[in-house]
Amino acid sequence: MAVSKTITIVGGALGGSCQLTLAFVPPTADFNSVVPVAWKVITLKDKDQFVYHWNDGPAAARAVIDTNTGIATPDEYTPIAVGQTSDLLLDRTVRPPVYSFTTPTTFQQKRARVMNRTGGYVDIGAGFITDLNTASEDVHIPIVLRRVNDQSPGYVEFTPVLKLWASLGFEESQLLDSSVNNVAPLWQGDLTKITGPSFTIKVKRDNLGRLVAEGPKSLNASSALSVFRQASGPNRPYTYTVELAFATPGLVVSGVTSIVNTLFPLGYQAKFTQKGYDTEGQIVLTLPEGVSCNQAELDTLGAIEANPTIYGKAYIKSHSGAVLISANNGLESWLEVNPAGPQWFGVTGQGENAAFDGANAEAFEQANAAADGTNGSDDPVDAPAKTEGRRKAATANTGADSNGAAESDASKFGSVRRSGGRRAVLV
């Protein structure tokens, strides 16, 4: 069942006006390849009220970026459900060339995928559609996937973590940059975890004159935690980083793409960094809850085995892990995980003490010693048995690129193109 929310922003006792920015910043946002957009920018005064609507039905759009202002505007778009895939095409036989989306078809992964088949780079907007199949239908793209390569996928579903800031200085629909991480939001929350069909955020000034926001699970500016830490639940978030080497520079992007596409169904999130035109690439995996760095490495090895290149398999040049130990006022502190220590294999009991809450330096040193395997027994810790089901899943998903035979209703999932403010279904 689709989830929808009505969001009401109300002005309390402000004593003047203030500028507010609302934006969706999912854990996958890196402000490089996955870039949040200033969804709404408003000027709020006493007793003002603004109402917005959101739903979790994914939509994909071709995003047009103004190179001077950074404003992202959706052009052609289509609704697409999780578990479906659509191709973005470009017809160069007409003037001007025409972009279009194919009718979404079934897809083996629990993701909403767009394949760029335009013959060049393209920016893909990820978002949702309000008032679908009505005269007031509109598409919203709060996330932009920048410069998606030809013959490469863009995944348009995202965790709807909404943030509310004051005085950011961005225009509505403008691409945000990582500087927003240095400003604590007045409020933030995962819309899928807020109960009820609607909620209200009241913005006002407290007795000290500070601007505050009151809403469900609201976070004051002095206590805002990172989205990454919130999304991780009660367990501390871990990352696994691997440096991969390939035979030629031309194999890096395609090789990494195949590997991470095999890991996505296992619950991993991935960030890829390419070292220019080189034979190496770095993957940083955000681990699913309960998965150790060792298991992440086994799954990565399985993905490498399942995706050989024409010159052989990728080679792991180096690896590392890290665990988040504190997050205060936007500053996150991470502790490196020793590959020879118990935490690498998911044995974390020895390392849980006051240091992980930033209590004091002495506790931190003790925790660091525990993570290095020096606090307690010196006996080696055996790695847990390999989870064969995960390895099989990693291998099995290499064939998950099939579009499937079942197609959705054309009236519901028709590709739409904007032209002078009008919308028309492309044939």
Higher local confidence (pLDDT), 56 or 415 = 56
- On the question of pLDDT at 35 being above 90, the answer is yes
What type of residue sits at position 352?
E
Report pLDDT digits (tens) over 58-81: 999 999 999 999 999 999 999 999
Contact indicator for 114, 86 with CB cutoff of 8 Å: yes
Beta bridge partners of 73: 64
Average pLDDT, stretch 128-151?
94
Q: How many residues does the chain have?
A: 427
> CA-CA distances (angstroms) from residue 368 to 157, 359, 361, 363?
37, 14, 10, 9
Instruction: Confirm if 117 and 89 have CB atoms less than 8 A apart.
Output: yes
pLDDT of 187-212, one tens digit each?
999 998 898 899 999 999 988 888 99
Q: Tell me, what amino acid is at 162?
A: L
Residue 340, judged by CB atoms within 10 A of its CB (0-12, 13-18, 19+), counts as exposed
The answer to whether 101 touches 206, Cβ cutoff 8 Å, is no
- Rounded Cα distance, 370 and 335, in Å: 11
Percent of the chain residues topping a pLDDT of 90: 50
- Do residues 364 and 352 touch, judged by C-beta distance below 8 A? no
| Per-residue pLDDT tens digits for 290-335 | 789 999 999 999 999 888 877 778 899 999 999 887 766 556 788 8
pTM, 2 dp: 0.56
